[in-house]
């Protein structure tokens, strides 16, 4: 493509960082997807963005599909292109958005893996008074109690934790702030950890969860600790941080049936994202039905 096309792209990336204030990871995804689109345009002889048409966008989608990209990845790339063209429309560089009516191929939706309520209890039930173990137990209790993302736990500060009222204020995707309840067991575990935390963390360290040097705990460290912890607890499945969030959502929805409340607690912008947990709930009901209904049970061999 012409040099002007790259300049428009560079200005768009600056727009994402300044005006949109997108997270660094989201900006990386935008840059990767749009750079790949530009390379595709080069292969088919498109010299500038105003020359890109809807049929050619569909050709790009087909190209990604042939390369084996999943529908979700193609959908993300299309979303990036639509956003870019909305910016170009605003800047009066183009007169239409060729990606507007293009859809990604549908792929089978994989349901997230969750723990059962008994497995979740087994995971956090550990009588070990070592300070780091107390910290880890408080971590798992909070993540399962409140459905926090890994990044939200990493960035959590003391000022955002209100144990007397049993709530935590977290900053989620898009810098959206939400207040989430914290369960009794999680509050108890957090109080125990905080009594130890003051022995390793400086008074000016705001992070709730710190390492043995008193510094904010990283996401990678949390992932590794949870993996080690779950093995020692004899868990039947490998446990990762997002599984605790999935388990929280599934168990709350199963007990309450309140999809909107679960959406608010998870911090989902669209309820369609939360609706995947209704499929998990139905799976549970179907399993109960298969085991309980006399006309549904599988026949045993004579």
Tell me which of 149, 197, 246, 251 is the catalytic residue. 149
Can you tell me the distance from the alpha carbon of 240 to that of 93, in angstroms, rounded to the nearest whole number?
Answer: 45
Q: Which of 15, 270, 151, 68 is nearest to 34 (CA)?
A: 15
65 is catalytic: no
Q: In what order do the strands lie in the sheet with 161-162?
A: 161-162, 167-171, 177-181
Residue 96 DSSP class: S
245 is catalytic: yes
Can you tell me the distance from the alpha carbon of 125 to that of 254, in angstroms, rounded to the nearest whole number?
Answer: 22
29 is catalytic: no
284 is catalytic: no
Residue identified by tokens 């993996």 is: 227
225 is catalytic: no
Can you tell me the distance from the alpha carbon of 196 to that of 214, in angstroms, rounded to the nearest whole number?
Answer: 11
CA dist 245 → 25, 151, 237, 251 (Å): 20, 12, 15, 10
242 is catalytic: yes
Tell me which of 173, 176, 191, 279 is the catalytic residue. 173
Residue 51 DSSP class: G
Q: Is 16 helix (H, G, I), strand (E, B) or coil?
A: helix
Tell me which of 8, 245, 246, 251 is the catalytic residue. 245
Active-site positions read 149, 173, 242, 245, 268, 277
């Amino acid at each position: 493509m012409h040099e002007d096309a790259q300049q428009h792209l560079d200005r768009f990336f600056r727009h994402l960082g300044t005006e949109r204030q997108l997270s660094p990871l989201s900006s990386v995804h935008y840059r990767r997807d749009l750079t790949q689109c530009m390379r595709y345009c080069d292969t088919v002889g498109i010299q500038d963005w105003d020359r890109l048409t809807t049929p050619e966008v569909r050709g790009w989608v087909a190209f990604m599909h042939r390369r084996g990209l999943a529908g979700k990845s193609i959908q993300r790339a299309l979303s990036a292109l639509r956003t870019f063209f909305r910016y170009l429309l605003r800047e009066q560089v183009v007169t239409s958005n060729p990606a507007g009516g293009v859809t990604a191929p549908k792929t089978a939706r994989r349901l997230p893996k969750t723990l059962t309520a008994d497995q979740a209890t087994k995971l956090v039930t550990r009588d070990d008074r070592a300070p780091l173990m107390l910290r880890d137990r408080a971590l798992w209790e909070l993540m399962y109690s409140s459905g926090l993302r890994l990044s939200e736990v990493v960035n959590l500060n003391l000022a955002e934790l209100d144990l007397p009222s049993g709530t935590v204020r977290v900053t989620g995707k898009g810098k959206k702030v939400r207040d989430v309840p914290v369960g009794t067991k999680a509050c108890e575990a957090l109080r125990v950890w905080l009594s130890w935390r003051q022995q390793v963390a400086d008074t000016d360290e705001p992070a709730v969860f710190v390492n043995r040097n008193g510094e904010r705990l990283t996401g990678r460290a949390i992932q590794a600790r949870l993996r080690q912890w779950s093995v020692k607890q004899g868990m039947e499945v490998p446990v990762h941080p997002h599984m605790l969030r999935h388990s929280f959502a599934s168990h709350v929805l199963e007990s309450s049936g309140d999809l909107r409340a679960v959406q608010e607690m998870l911090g989902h912008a669209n309820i369609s994202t939360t609706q995947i947990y209704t499929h998990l709930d139905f799976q549970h009901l179907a399993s109960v039905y298969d085991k309980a209904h006399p006309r549904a049970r599988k026949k045993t061999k004579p």
